[in-house]
Structure formats: C-alpha cells, structure tokens
Structure 1
Amino acid sequence: MGSKAEWWKGAVVYQIYPRSFRDTNGDGIGDLKGIEEKLDYVAGLGADAIWLSPFYPSPNKDFGYDVSDYCGIAPEMGTMADFDRLVAETHKRGLKLIVDQVLAHTSEQHQWFQESQLSADNPKSDWYVWADAKEDGTVPNNWLSAFGGPAWSWNPIRRQYYHHKFLKSQPKLNFHNEEVVAACMDVLRFWLDRGVDGFRLDVANAYLHDATLTDNPPLPMDKRTFMDWAHAPRLQQHIHDANTPENEWAMKRVRAVMEEYDERLAFGEFSERQEMLGLYAGGLERLHTGYTFHFLEDWSFEPPVFRAYYEELLAPLADLFPCVTFSNHDIVRPVTRWGGGQGDDALAKLALTILVALKGTVLMYQGEELGLPETDLDRQYIKDPVGDLYFPWVKGRDGCRTPMPWEAKAEGAGFTSGTPWLPIPDYHKARAADAQAGDANSVLAHAKKIVALRKVHPALRLGDIRFLDTESKMLAFTREGEGETLLCVFNLGTEAASYALPEGAGEAVFDLGEAKRAGATLSLGARAGAILKA
C-alpha cells in the first residue's frame, strides 16, 4: 500500500464548480463540454489536478449536492460520452481528475429513498435513518439541521421521522447498514473504472451517526464565536449526529476501495470538530488527506491563525500530509473576507502566495487566480437555501458561485451566450481572464508565477514547516526539505513593516510588492512579501 506513487502530495488542485465554469449550449448553466474547452487554461495555471463539484442528476435543491442518481450525468451538464471524453482530454494534458462524491445523503428523489419510504419492512427500509416520533409527536431528539430547524422531517407514508443533516430533501443514508456501505463503495468503483483519479468526499465527517440517537450537548458559552451565534445549529456540539469515533471505520472502507486501484486519491471535507481530522485521514488505512474550515472561516487575516493550524491541529498528526485551502464553493471569497469591498489585487496576490508557500496539497477555487471578490447579490437573484433562510443578514453561498468571467467585453462575460443562472457583476468582468492574460502585473500572471515557483522548489511542495516569532502583522516561517531551506516572510498588514532576518538568510527567490533588504533588515510594504534562501 505504501509503495504507490503519491502524486497528490504538494500538488495544486484546481476546483471547478461546473454549473458556473463555462456554458457551451446557451442555457446559462455550465456543462462538461465547457470544462473540456477550458482545460488548456487550467493546465496553463500549472495545476496538477482538477476537482469537479457534482455533475450528477439532481433536483438542484442544493445544486448537485442532492444526488438523485450516483452513476449518471445531469442532462444540463451533458452525457456520459461527454464525461468520458473529458477524462481522456484531462489526462492528455497531464492533469488528474478528481470528482465530488456525496455519500452521506441522497436526494429524496433517489430511487433508494423512494423505496425506503414505502414501508418499514421493504428491502431498503433501513437504508436511511428512520425513527419514531416521541409520544407527543415531536422529533426524536435535539439534532439540528445545518440549514436551520430540526434535522428531522415527518414522512406520512411510514409515519416516522427521517433524519437529514441538511435540507429535508436530503435524507441521510444509514451507514450502519452494510448493504448501504457496499452500494456506496460500488459507486466509487463505477467512477474509478471510468478513469477518475480520486474523490473529494463531501461532509466526510458525517457518514456514521450515533445509532442510539443521543442528544447533542450544547456548545459551551466560552467556546462560542460570532460565527456560532449567527446560526443556531452551531450552538450545539455535533458529536452524535456526526464526528463520531466510529466514522473512522467508514473512512477505512473508502481507502480500501482506493487501494484496489493504482495511484488514486481520496480526501475529505471535515467541518465542525476539526480535531477529528487525524482520526479520519492520514496513514495507510484512512483517507489519504483532508481539509478543515480553519482558514475558510477566518475573517481576521492575522498571523497567529496560520501558526495555530500547523502547531495546534496538525503537529500531533505525524502521518498526515495536509491540504491547505482558503476558498471553495461554500465560503465567502478570501479577498472579501480579508479585505472587503469589490476587489483588492494586492491582497489577492498576497493570499495566493501564502497559500502556495504553506505546507500541504493546495486546493484553489475557480476565480481565486483572478482575484475575484464575493458578488453582492440582490434578493431577486438568491437561489441558495442558506441565503433564502437568512437574507439579508446572511446572503448564503451564491456570492462565491457566480459564473467565471472569461471575456471582459462579452455580454455573458464569455461564460454563456444566454442568460447566466446567476448574474456576473461588472467588477468581475473587469477581472476577466482575457483582460488579465496580457498583463504581466495581473493577479492571473502572479498566480502562474507562484505555482511555477512551487514546482521549481521542492521544499515548497514537500518540505516541513516551522513558524518563527514575529511582531505586528508579520508572518514568517521556513520550509525545509528535499535538500533546501526557504524563509517565507509576509506583511499581512496595510502599513509598511520590517523584519529582522535570521543569520544566514540568503538571496530572495521571489519578491511580492515593495520588498527591500538592507543588511539583516527586510522592509516590506503593505501586503508585500519575500521568499529567501535560508
């Protein structure tokens, strides 16, 4: 098991949200042919792999994360022939292809649930999490849905409640049933047999639940942040509906399937109890790796945030090579989280540089390489169920899912010849790929340079990381391994600052912004940085 090539370690994985990447038939929804059309663009970034968010048949209550057929292609996305061609064309360019798998739950329209709901004694009656009502008709326990309200919905046919960690249209699969596990493992094999190189596992911390349906305890008052108070489900500790120690067993089952094939990758999304990462990923039996929401939920952009991730969460996990990510399809874009407004190219460049300089497999989300900020949408355009629930105080996830701007002057920004499913703002069109392509000072050009730097310097890909003491807004760490040591220093602030270089610091291999050295003093302007030989 340990002898297989670990191509994914230190790789740059480019996440594509298919619905918003490129539409080739004018219906306003991105498709597989559109992804194929833009493969040269992705390869040109220097990415090693692409990760596709769901493209399976779905009623789109949660835009693909409510799967109604695990082994099909959504009509609006194309055909299986389109997918097979995409696999071949991806591989032809030397890229790996990773696809999302949503095995914790299905759509209510999935044939498994359609059968399960019919009775308490049919062949699939136990494929989902069913429970009787309390004597007064109320829900079985206090579990709360991540999308608001109780995590239980009544089914009048079975006269029971079914559990859903998200929307009521996303019933939870019962991983305590071996038939369910076997069926899900066959889903993985179906796509592996078609040539995919691996999977990103959605809510991988929630495959198994406490079969006794024990209430979740409250989150202690001293642990509650502004993020928790914004959303009632976060006010309880999700230790019984998810994040259970036995979930490790499910991760091992996935890894065993991956080991049936050569050089495949399975990495998981681990939210909520981030300390469970080491139980679910790392080593030769669990998932290869995974990511948490440590950076994704950070709004401070303070140096201690970066240090804490490695020294507090990852340091005890000797057999885990981590993922590092600042952005995805669920999270307010980093330029907005860390800077606000309608864009900040200096901040975008700095964030990309830090992302690539940190230890881990990089997960970069479409548009991050363009410095796209969050789109501020009016109520009439909100489609995400989270935005629908909390608008206008929280606008949901639509703002990071608006279509890619390919052409600055095209009506549909080069994304579509029709009406895009979500609007594309002018401040995104100004940062379109074609507008940046010929500009050596653009965020896009910078993204290519910094990804190329990682390929040239193996210490950035695979080396160890050690953080150095700093003051104010300065972030400093070394990357050491593969025969070289690099010193990375970044000014996260909006005021110029200086850093006393350690003895032996060598020449810079990369400068960002205003970076000047006078002897042992490195002066950095706002949002500037330098990577030096050490």
Structure 2
Amino acid sequence: MSGIHKDKSNGEWWRNGVIYQIYPRSFCDANGDGIGDLPGIVEKLDYVKSLGVDAIWISPFFKSPMADFGYDVSDYRDVDPIFGNLADFDRVIDKAHSLGLKVIIDQILSHTSDQHAWFEESRASRDNAKADWYVWADAKEDGSAPNNWMSNFGGSAWRWCTRRRQYYLTNFLKEQPDLNLHNPEVQEQLLADLRFWLDRGVDGFRLDAINHAFHNQSLQDNPGRPVKLDENGLPPVNSYEYQWHIHDKSQPENLVFLQRVRALLEEYPGAMTVGEVGDDNTHKIMAEYTTENRLNMAYSFDLLSEDCSAQFLRDTLEKNRQVIEEGWPCWSISNHDVPRSFTRWNKGFDSETAMARAPMFLLMQLMLRGSVCLYQGEELGLPEADVAFEDLQDPYGINLWPEFKGRDGCRTPMPWFNGGEINAGFSKVKPWLPVAEEHYHLAASVQEDEQHAMLNRFRALLKWHAELPSALATASQNILETGDDLLVFERADEGDAERYFVALNLGQEAAEIDLPEAFAGSEDITPEGFAGALNGGKIELPAAAARIFLKK
C-alpha cells in the first residue's frame, strides 16, 4: 500500500481525517489548581501528535460562570482565567501547527450564559437595544409558560424573568438563555465572533447543538410522543423524551444561516465546520446540514447510543448512506456527554474480549465512509468512572440523580502516570473530579512501552489508516445485510479500481462468512493484532476479530 489518504490539495484535510477531542478541564493541569488548562494542552501536544491524529478539537475554554462547564459563554472573545489567557491559546495554536495538527474549537451559537453582557442588557427592559437578542414571550393568561417545550435537561424550557415580566427560552440549563437568531443583528455578531478566532489561526469549529439555533416563531406546542417504558414499566426519566421536537429546533431558517457561516469560512482556506445535531430525524438533518455549502460535516448521537449490536449498526449506517448522499458524516462513539464506549459497548463481555473490541471499533470507524472523532482516553481503553454523589459536578446528573448519574463519569481526569504520582500525574492538588482508581493502571506511562497495550494498538491502527490508498477517502459504501453478529460492508472508489471488503465480528461467538467471488485473489490488508483467517474461501472470525481485503 502507498499514498496518503488525506486529500489536502483542495483544502479538504478533514475528509476521512481523525480528530482528537480534548476536554480541557480534565486533560492536564499545568498551574496546579486542580483544573486542566491551555498550558497543560501545550505540554501534552507531542503525545497527541504521537497518536497519529490530524487535528484536535478543544471543548469550550471561553470566559464562563461554568454553570455548564463552559457551554454557558459569557464572553465569546476571551479565555476563562481558569484555563489561562489569549496568549496561552496562541501558544496552543503555534505548537499544534508546528506539529502539523489542525486546531478546531467549540462554538456555542444557540445560547449564551445568563451572565453575558448581552443578556444582562436584554432582560433589563422590553425596549433596550438588545431587547430582541434573546427569545422572549409573554405568559399565558393563567401565568403559565408560553408553550409545552421541554429543556434537554428536563422540565420546562421556559424561565420567568421578573424584570420584563416575560418568559425566556432555555433549551438547556436555566442559566443558558437562547439567542434569537431570527434577529439579523445577532447573526452578524456571531459571525464576527467566528471571524475573531479564524483571524487568530483556528482551522475550524465544532458547532455545539447547532440545530437548536432557531426556533419556530409561532411558538406552537410540540406534539406528544409515545414513550417507551423501561424494564420496570416506568416511563423515561427525562421529560424531554415525551415530545416530538418539531418546533423548538431544526428550523428551515438555520439552513440559510449555515450558508452564511460557510461563506465566512471560505475566506480562510482549509477552514472547516463539524456540527453536532441531535434530532428525531437525525440522518435527514445531517444530510441537509452538510450539503449546499453549509457545514463540511456533521455528527449525531446515533453511535453514542447504548446499542452497538450488529443489526443496529447495519440499520444506522445503511439509513445514513441512503439519506446523506453527497453530505459527509463524522463518526464518534465517545465524547464528553455520554458514558465511555469501553463500558457502554461492552456490556456482557468479559474483560479480555472487551479489550479486543475497543481497537475493533476504532477499525470500524476508520473504514466507514466519513471522518472520525476520538475522545481523550479512548486510546487508553478507559472505562466509565463511577463518581460518588458527593463528588458530582454535573448539574444534569445532580438534577436527575440517582436514575441518571450525569456526565461526570466520562469527564474524570486523564491518567498520565502510575508510579507514585498523585492524581495519576494530572494535577498536584485535588482535581475538580477524582481520578478513577481503575484508571491508574491504564495510565499513558504504563502503556507507552508495551507493544500490545491499547495505546500502541491505537497508534498502529492510525498509522495503518494513514497509509491506505487515497481513493478510500471518498469511496462509496455498501452495508451487507447478514442478519447475524457480523458487521460487513464494502467500499469502492470511482470506477471500482479499488474495492475493500470489511468484516467484523461483534458477537460473543466465533462466526464465518464467505469471501465474495468478486474478491477472489484479493490482498488481505488487515492490520496486525486482529484474529481471523481466510480458509478455503471462508473468512473465519473469532469474537472481536476482523478481516479487510483489498481488490485492485
């Protein structure tokens, strides 16, 4: 094999690339206050580069009262002091670029903090200059909320303001009022804030909850949704799941705004956007948002689910293929909002098989049509941490405890060392969340020199992926319906000059499948470390095994 799969000639470095998400609070604490920071990121960028990724995505580091740990922004153009300052961010950019890494940062365009100067002015009266910068509505005659919309975190999406005697919309926490992007002035301001960071050298944006940017101005009620009962016959914990979210997000006006965002980024060669979209009809939204000069790519919550069965993956990937067409997905199986994939996707599997499944799922992501986003600690095989209630920080979990424990279990600090260093080398003082005891033996230093450790398996897989023929980047994808525990698909470049056959065993038991006649005499290019064999035209696959064949 030869050639590099990233096509940078037209600036599309992101296509089929690999992005590494850094959650700064939990990555590396350089100043010894128990919270990760930008200097800590600079300190660990050589490690990130060694993984073989193309870019880093840094979760919010902007000035914020931290009600939702940075996703409640009070100043879009400044760094919160707990993370450092603008000069520290410039050093992140300089160091990353010197290593050949692109830098993507979060942008939260649908809402701000209630402590943002814009909201302070907006809620002061009904006739000030920013009175219409947020979504305000009168109460019903009985004083209740304007409609039945629910917050993502449970309960009504409306909060009462005594000064304006009106409700304001908040799709998340009450401290996160929704911006009114129907107001052209708000759009202009947000575009100017994007330009501020582009001028500073960022290579792109991850747009948080971007399909929440617009609401239906009619304020119609959302229709009810049939709820699924759990094993105890009880309805969902979160009231958000009781509705079809027709009017509170994914509005058509957003498509026009995203074209404006794309036009801005095209002034900066190579700059890109990846949008987070969660919707009742995710694939349709992904398709709409990544075509007609809108987002470059989008990712959904489909592969962040509890279900990782072969049938679920077949159905999800095939539906995505049918709907997204020329659009572009970004596949992620872990992030800062869901339990870690190592735990979530290995329920019922013994520890040895679980350790083999983690690189198998990375291989799956690398071979799918689309780009890949990894979350810090995936490369170490970190399981979900069990955080005691008294240590919880996430308001989402505190509000819904104990039925839902929140997101702290996937946000605990990165374990860097295990040789007597306190807090596994993350910080010299008590960190904002405790380092999980079960993470110490998985520390980066422990795995560094072990050839078959998870860390080095991930490095080897990313190196293997980077050396695949370049045509894979845009090759078509065909999911095969096998009806069992195998995930099998083909990739083919334009003209069928290069064709790939990929088979992965997601089940508990060994399985086999016929190698199609079209692949007779093809080359077995399966990366090292995966069990399985081709025997008389049949591919034999133990649990967690994979085989990949290339036909030229």
Show CA shifts across 1:460-483 (max 9, x none). Answer: 433221122324211111222274
1:498 equivalent in structure 2: 512
1:261 equivalent in structure 2: 268
The answer (yes or no) to whether the contact 1:245–1:279 under 8 Å persists in 2 is no
1:324 equivalent in structure 2: 331
Aligned-partner residue type, residue 437 of structure 2:
D
The answer (yes or no) to whether the contact 1:73–1:80 under 8 Å persists in 2 is yes
Rounded to whole Å, the distance in 2 between the matches of 1:408 and 1:195 is: 36
Rounded to whole Å, the distance in 1 between the matches of 2:304 and 2:488 is: 20
Aligned-partner residue type, residue 208 of structure 2:
D
- 2:304 equivalent to 1:290: no
Rounded to whole Å, the distance in 2 between the matches of 1:469 and 1:103 is: 40
1:530 equivalent in structure 2: 547
The answer (yes or no) to whether the contact 1:24–1:416 under 8 Å persists in 2 is yes
2:5 equivalent in structure 1: none
Where 2:398 maps in the other structure, the secondary structure is helix
2:38 equivalent in structure 1: 32
Match of 1:435 among 437, 440, 446: 446
- Deviation for aligned residue 1:278: 4.2
Per mean C-alpha deviation after superposition, the further-off stretch among 247-256 and 108-117 is 247-256
- 2:180 equivalent to 1:174: yes
Unaligned runs of 5+ in 1: none
Where 1:430 maps in the other structure, the secondary structure is helix
- 2:202 equivalent to 1:213: no
TM-score (norm 1): 0.96
- 2:317 equivalent to 1:310: yes
- Deviation for aligned residue 1:340: 3.5
The answer (yes or no) to whether the contact 1:228–1:234 under 8 Å persists in 2 is no
The answer (yes or no) to whether the contact 1:333–1:374 under 8 Å persists in 2 is yes
- 2:462 equivalent to 1:462: no
Rounded to whole Å, the distance in 2 between the matches of 1:468 and 1:348 is: 22
Per mean C-alpha deviation after superposition, the further-off stretch among 223-232 and 181-190 is 223-232
- Deviation for aligned residue 1:252: 1.4
Q: Evaluate the alpha carbon distance shift between residue 228 and residue 329 of structure 1 in structure 2; reply closer, same or farther with a 3 A threshold.
A: farther
Q: Percent identity?
A: 46
The answer (yes or no) to whether the contact 1:58–1:74 under 8 Å persists in 2 is yes
Q: Evaluate the alpha carbon distance shift between residue 235 and residue 321 of structure 1 in structure 2; reply closer, same or farther with a 3 A threshold.
A: same
The answer (yes or no) to whether the contact 1:513–1:525 under 8 Å persists in 2 is no
Show CA shifts across 1:360-386 (max 9, x none). Answer: 110111111111111111111111111
Rounded to whole Å, the distance in 2 between the matches of 1:113 and 1:131 is: 15
The answer (yes or no) to whether the contact 1:247–1:280 under 8 Å persists in 2 is no
- 2:500 equivalent to 1:486: yes
Aligned-partner residue type, residue 503 of structure 2:
V
Rounded to whole Å, the distance in 1 between the matches of 2:331 and 2:523 is: 27
Show CA shifts across 1:37-91 (max 9, x none). Answer: 1111111111000000000011111000000100000101001111111101111
Match of 1:141 among 137, 147, 151: 147
Match of 1:422 among 430, 433, 441: 433
Unaligned runs of 5+ in 2: 1-7
Aligned-partner residue type, residue 474 of structure 2:
L
Rounded to whole Å, the distance in 2 between the matches of 1:252 and 1:227 is: 43
2:189 equivalent in structure 1: 183
Match of 2:342 among 312, 335, 357: 335
Match of 2:523 among 504, 507, 518: 507
Q: Evaluate the alpha carbon distance shift between residue 223 and residue 210 of structure 1 in structure 2; reply closer, same or farther with a 3 A threshold.
A: farther
2:396 equivalent in structure 1: 386
Match of 1:366 among 369, 373, 376: 376
The answer (yes or no) to whether the contact 1:13–1:51 under 8 Å persists in 2 is yes
Rounded to whole Å, the distance in 2 between the matches of 1:236 and 1:223 is: 15
Rounded to whole Å, the distance in 2 between the matches of 1:224 and 1:78 is: 45
1:65 equivalent in structure 2: 71
Aligned-partner residue type, residue 19 of structure 1:
R
Where 1:34 maps in the other structure, the secondary structure is helix
1:242 equivalent in structure 2: 249
Per mean C-alpha deviation after superposition, the further-off stretch among 271-280 and 37-46 is 271-280
Rounded to whole Å, the distance in 1 between the matches of 2:270 and 2:160 is: 44
Where 2:247 maps in the other structure, the secondary structure is coil
- 2:21 equivalent to 1:15: yes
- Deviation for aligned residue 1:277: 2.2
Aligned-partner residue type, residue 423 of structure 1:
P
Equivalenced residue count is: 532
Per mean C-alpha deviation after superposition, the further-off stretch among 333-342 and 147-156 is 333-342
Q: Evaluate the alpha carbon distance shift between residue 4 and residue 396 of structure 1 in structure 2; reply closer, same or farther with a 3 A threshold.
A: same
- Deviation for aligned residue 1:136: 1.2
Rounded to whole Å, the distance in 2 between the matches of 1:253 and 1:142 is: 31
- Deviation for aligned residue 1:103: 0.9
Rounded to whole Å, the distance in 2 between the matches of 1:362 and 1:411 is: 33
Aligned-partner residue type, residue 5 of structure 1:
G
- 2:80 equivalent to 1:74: yes
Aligned-partner residue type, residue 179 of structure 1:
E
- Deviation for aligned residue 1:22: 0.5
Q: Evaluate the alpha carbon distance shift between residue 38 and residue 327 of structure 1 in structure 2; reply closer, same or farther with a 3 A threshold.
A: same
The answer (yes or no) to whether the contact 2:54–2:102 under 8 Å persists in 1 is yes
- Deviation for aligned residue 1:330: 0.5
Aligned-partner residue type, residue 115 of structure 2:
Q
Aligned-partner residue type, residue 313 of structure 2:
F
The answer (yes or no) to whether the contact 1:148–1:232 under 8 Å persists in 2 is yes
The answer (yes or no) to whether the contact 1:324–1:355 under 8 Å persists in 2 is yes
2:11 equivalent in structure 1: 5
The answer (yes or no) to whether the contact 2:157–2:172 under 8 Å persists in 1 is yes
Rounded to whole Å, the distance in 1 between the matches of 2:235 and 2:366 is: 29
Rounded to whole Å, the distance in 2 between the matches of 1:42 and 1:296 is: 23
